[in-house]
Structure 1
Amino acid sequence: MTFNFRQGMTAGTGFLLLGLAWLGFWLGPALPLYQTDPRWAHNFAFALIFITVGIAYLRPSVLTGIGAVVASFITIPTELAFWSGLTATEIEAILLVLVAGAAAIEWWTKGPLVAPSPRAGLWAKIHLPIFSALGIAHMPFIFFLSRWANDVPYLQYLPIEHEYSTTIFNGMLLVLVLLAIVGQYAKNIGRFSIPEAGFVWSVLMLLIPLASIGILGS
């Protein structure tokens, strides 16, 4: 049995990679920021969202898909500062455990825990990842359309985030979401592989914001 690396190069794998890197960054070098100001806790929640959505992409089923959709739309109240980042992190941690648990059980039993009709199953396979991507899309939408212009209403639970790296990441995230959505309908445009483009773009989303921190200092 051989593993085809290129088959794993998808936007879903990219979400998982970004989530793991994001979590590692905030548990490592960026942890002092959170210890100084707990409002940075929303980064833990967002990292868990990406990990949850990534797992659902890699182990698609009705249960993992629904869990990922719910997790992704937690972005909205979190980004709008309806609750603290710590509260969002606790919710996302529970959803991650549920999705990862469902994925593990379905892998072990080699079958879905919920088996819809073939037509409903096909619909879920195509559309649940799209809904997850749309949930994540609210992160840059709210950032650019609301928080960027006026961050005062959000300061109770969110810090001011005008760093170059944050702005670049949010802008690039819009492209990744688009690639993830288009990739559910078409795998290739000519010789251009949409899933592979999503993965490559996610890698660039790791490198370019980090480069901006090193070059521009934020």
Structure 2
Amino acid sequence: KVMNSANGILILGVAWLIFWLGPAFFLFREDPRWGHNFSVPITFVTVGMAFHLRKISCQLIALISAFFIVPTLVAFWSGSTATGIAIGFLGLMIILYFAEKGRESELVHPNPRLNAWLKIHLMTFTYIGLAHMSLIFFLVRWFNPDSFSLYLPAEHHVSTTVFNAMLFILVILAIMERFVKKLGRFQVEKIGFVWAMLMIILPLIAINILGE
């Protein structure tokens, strides 16, 4: 299925990268602290791909990658370091996927009960990892941006605030669609996909109208 939250997250990551490699790249040239806008969308791409690869090894890498957002967004390291790590996780996941192809059993193959549990819940925890981006933004960086100024600029822009607020809902929808098919007449998968597309559109509208 094309319209699901995972594809929404994947497209969101790609669009985010295109935006920062294109029209917003001058901001990075002027201030390298914007470098997290390369590492985080690469992580979104990794997570979106992991849903489709359906291998425990690949989804474990996506899970770790998602939680590596935390040190990046509390300015534990620079944006360039974070980007290198994110690329490394994405590359490793792809390598593992091709290593898995043609095998009778997966590289990570625990006992049947744990295997079934991981198949069900790994992506759930991975989505929760992504939600830490918004948690850190609103609960930590919003009130005390100067503490992170070595590697991160202050971000109180409307577009960034809207994106982070909407990410909470996207994570809920992504988790929900794994267990609930419909909300009333609407398929949860499609709601998640449309919501992800709105996360591209609404911040861009804010940037064009309000300039931030």
Q: TM-score, normalised by structure 2?
A: 0.94
Structure 1's unaligned 5+ residue stretches are 1-6
Provide the C-alpha distance between the structure 2 equivalents of 1:110 and 1:136, rounded to a whole number of angstroms. Answer: 32
- Tell me which residue corresponds to 2:50: 56
- Tell me which residue corresponds to 2:77: 83
Give per-residue Cα distances to partners, 1:74-111, cap 9 Å, x unaligned: 11111111111111111111000011222344456686
| Large movers: runs of 4+ above 6 Å | none
Give per-residue Cα distances to partners, 1:118-165, cap 9 Å, x unaligned: 433321122111111111111011101111112010000001111111
Provide the C-alpha distance between the structure 1 equivalents of 2:135 and 2:108, rounded to a whole number of angstroms. Answer: 33
Q: 1:132 to 1:217 in 2, by over 3 A?
A: same
Query: Secondary structure in 2 aligned to 1:8?
Result: coil
User: Contact between 1:52 and 1:100, CA under 8 Å: does it hold in 2?
Assistant: no
- Tell me which residue corresponds to 1:174: 168
Matched, 1:207 2:210: no
Pick the aligned partner of 1:14 from 8, 11, 22.
Answer: 8
- 1:38-77 matches, within 5 Å, as 38-77=32-71
Pick the aligned partner of 2:123 from 120, 126, 129.
Answer: 129
The amino acid across from 1:135 in the alignment is: G
Provide the C-alpha distance between the structure 2 equivalents of 1:124 and 1:146, rounded to a whole number of angstroms. Answer: 31
Provide the C-alpha distance between the structure 1 equivalents of 2:39 and 2:20, rounded to a whole number of angstroms. Answer: 11
Pick the aligned partner of 1:36 from 26, 30, 33.
Answer: 30
Provide the C-alpha distance between the structure 2 equivalents of 1:153 and 1:189, rounded to a whole number of angstroms. Answer: 42
Structure 2's unaligned 5+ residue stretches are none
| Mean CA deviation greater in 101-110 or 199-208 | 101-110
Q: 1:191 to 1:63 in 2, by over 3 A?
A: same
Pick the aligned partner of 1:100 from 82, 94, 101.
Answer: 94
CA RMSD, aligned part only?
Answer: 1.6
The amino acid across from 1:90 in the alignment is: G
Aligned residue pairs total 212
- 1:135-150 matches, within 5 Å, as 135-150=129-144
- Tell me which residue corresponds to 2:186: 192
Identical amino acids, percent of aligned pairs:
46
The amino acid across from 1:176 in the alignment is: L
